[in-house]
Amino acid sequence: DTEVTQTPKHLVMGMTNKKSLKCEQHMGHRAMYWYKQKAKKPPELMFVYSYEKLSINESVPSRFSPECPNSSLLNLHLHALQPEDSALYLCASSLRSGGPTGELFFGEGSRLTVL
């Protein structure tokens, strides 16, 4: 079983709603990631947090707002999304963000549908 836990597993929201995706890990990892994955495509990096600071933002639209309250938790706040934002959102963690300890462990994902 994965040690990265994501909630909710499924989310349906309208374009005017505000919702949040949550991710938790207790492996002592200090880097956490959000990825977006469309059907039959590889995961695409959105954000990287290293030691609770945002280190990479892959030019993601501001309707996606990440937050890292502490080293174990990662949130993705969603507001005014578009139907094309419907995808599987994956959280991942690694011991560090760089170097030989950079292998990522993924959660099961939150499947988002925007109506």
Partner 1 sequence: QKEVEQDPGPLSVPEGAIVSLNCTYSNSAFQYFMWYRQYSRKGPELLMYTYSSGNKEDGRFTAQVDKSSKYISLFIRDSQPSDSATYLCAMKGRTQGGSEKLVFGKGTKLTVNP
Task: List interacting residues with partner 1 (CB under 8 A).
Answer: 2, 4, 6, 40-43, 45, 48, 56, 88, 90, 97-98, 100, 102-109, 111
Residue 88 CB, nearest distance to partner 1 (Å)?
7
- What is the DSSP secondary structure assignment for residue 99, as one 8-state letter? G
Phi, psi of 45, rounded to the nearest 5 degrees: -70, 135
Instruction: Give the amino acid at 48.
Output: V
Q: Look at strands 18-25 and 4-7 and give their pairing.
A: antiparallel
Residue 52 CB, nearest distance to partner 1 (Å)?
18
Cβ distance to partner 1 smaller for residue 66 or 109 = 109
Cβ distance to partner 1 smaller for residue 22 or 79 = 22
Cβ distance to partner 1 smaller for residue 30 or 111 = 111
Cβ-in-10-Å burial (0-12, 13-18, 19+) of 71 comes to middle
